[in-house]
Each structure stands twice: as C-alpha cells, then as structure tokens.
Amino acid sequence: MSIAYDYHNTTTTAAIPHKQLLIDGQHVESVSGRSFKTLNPATEEVIATISEGNEADVERAVSAARRAFEGRWSTMRAAERGHILLKLAELMKQHADELAELESRDAGKPIAAVLRQDLPSAIDTLTYYAGWADKISGDVVSTRPRCADLHGARAGRRGGRHRALEFPADDRHVETGAGAGLRLHHRDEAG
C-alpha cells in the first residue's frame, strides 16, 4: 500500500496523511488505536499523523521478526538477500526526489543537503552492504588431524535464537542459507 503525499498543498484544509505501523508485512494500526502528530519544523504545520505503538505492538513485531528469521529470510541464498537489498537501493534511487522532499519536510533539513548528502549516503550504504551478503563466511582452523574445525558466523537478530547449521559430509563447499557461510575445505584438496 502506498500513500500519496500532496507536497504542494500546505494549507490546513488539505487531508493530512495517516501512517501506520509495519508489522509482518502489513500496515496496521497500533493496538491502542492512538496516534501522534508529526510537524514540519520549518513551518510548525502538522504533516502527518502516525499510529503510536506500545508494548503490545512491540510484542507483535518481535514475534513477526522471529517467524521471519526462522522462515524464508534464513533459508534463502545469501546472494538473494543481497539482490533484495540492491533492489531496495534501486527503488530508493527511483524515488529519490520523493524521499528527499519527505525527509526535508519531516526533519527540517534543507533539500539541497538531503539530495547532495543524506540520500546518496543512505543508498551507498545499502548498496555496500548488499555486496557483503554473500561474502560472510568462516574459517577452517587446523587443530587435530582428521578433523575439520570450522569457525563460522551465525546470524543474530533482534529476537533470534540458535539456528542449526548442517553440512553434508561429502560436500567440499557448503554454504548455509542465512547470513552464515561456512566453507569447508579439505586440506589435501585444491581450493
């Protein structure tokens, strides 16, 4: 669902957009039903009302995050996670003018600064980390003979629990799905 912003109409008779929480892929009202107003600091006008969350909404959100962590986000290929982040960066570029104007009004930042600095920096950050998605891996450390010792990274989250990492014994290269690549190299085999 996208909300159209009427950037050119700043009179108080204009309909003020209402924004909701984002939980589990849905735009929802807060459990309490309360909202707060947000102002443009340059004009002191109300530019939106926003649904106001509380502990109950945090509970819903954390549960949703847990389910997502143990679901598709964990099992998809790391590279696909990177692709999604790149797609988001692309969408931000396409919507650059809209995002810049929104940030400028919401935070009272001069638009030139947002276009020159804030927005490109955000897109660059996203693009940079998108590239890391499939390059997070661990090490094989030599300790005892006939033993592969792996030090891998496991994705943590705001709300995570342990995920089991499995590797078929006869595969030389194993990459797990979620944020933790473990590459198992046998010492007597070439790279």
Partner 1 sequence: MWKLAPALACGCTIVMKPAELTSLSALRIGELALEAGLPPGVLNIVPGPGRVVGDALVNHPDVDKVTFTGSPGVGRGILRGAAGNFKRVSLELGGKSANVIFDDADLDAATKAAAAGIFFNAGQVCSAGSRVLAQEAVYDEVVERLTARAESLRIGDTADKGTALGPVISEKQMKSILDYVDIGEKEGATLTTGGRRVGDRGYYISPAVFANVAHEMRISQEEIFGPVVSVIKFRDEADAARIANGTAYSLAAGVWSRDIGRTQRFVKKANAGTVWINTYGYTDVRLPWGGARDSGFGREHGAQALETFTEPKSVWMNLNV
3-state secondary structure of 50: strand
- Closest distance of CB 97 from partner 1, Å: 12
**Sign of the Cα pseudo-torsion (105, 109, 115, 117, in order):** negative
* Residue placing its CB nearer to partner 1 in the complex, 6 or 90: 90
* Cβ partners under 8 Å of residue 89, min gap 6: 123, 126, 127, 130
Q: Are 106 and 147 in contact (CB under 8 A)?
A: no
- Closest distance of CB 153 from partner 1, Å: 4
* Residue placing its CB nearer to partner 1 in the complex, 121 or 173: 121
- Closest distance of CB 65 from partner 1, Å: 4
Question: For residue 134, how many other CB atoms are within 10 A of its CB?
Answer: 17
* Residue placing its CB nearer to partner 1 in the complex, 169 or 190: 169
Can you state the angle between helices 96-107 and 119-132, rounded to 10 degrees? Answer: 120
Angstrom CA distances, 128 to 9, 38, 73, 134, 160, stand at 37, 32, 19, 12, 24
- Closest distance of CB 191 from partner 1, Å: 18
- Closest distance of CB 12 from partner 1, Å: 13
